Amino acid sequence: MTAGVLAVQGAFAEMEAYWRAKGFDVFEIRQLADLGRNMDLLALPGGESTVQGKLLKDLGLFEPLKERIAGGLPVFAVCAGMILLAEKIENDPSVWFGVLPVTVRRNAYGRQLGSFKTVGEFDGKDGVTMTFIRAPAITAVPPDAEILSVFDGAPTAVRWKNIVACAWHPELGE
Q: Is 146 a catalytic residue?
A: no
CATH topology of domain 2-172: Rossmann fold (3.40.50)
Catalytic residue among 48, 67, 171, 174: 171
Tens of pLDDT, residue by residue over 76-105, are 999 999 999 999 999 888 899 999 999 999
Q: Is 169 a catalytic residue?
A: yes
Tens of pLDDT, residue by residue over 152-174, are 899 999 999 999 999 999 998 76
Catalytic residue among 67, 79, 166, 174: 79
Per-residue confidence band for 134, with pLDDT thresholds at 50, 70 and 90? confident
Per-residue confidence band for 114, with pLDDT thresholds at 50, 70 and 90? low
* pTM across the whole model: 0.94
Mean pLDDT of all residues in 121-150? 94
Q: Is 121 a catalytic residue?
A: no
Residues 6+ apart with CB under 8 A from 146: 158, 159, 160
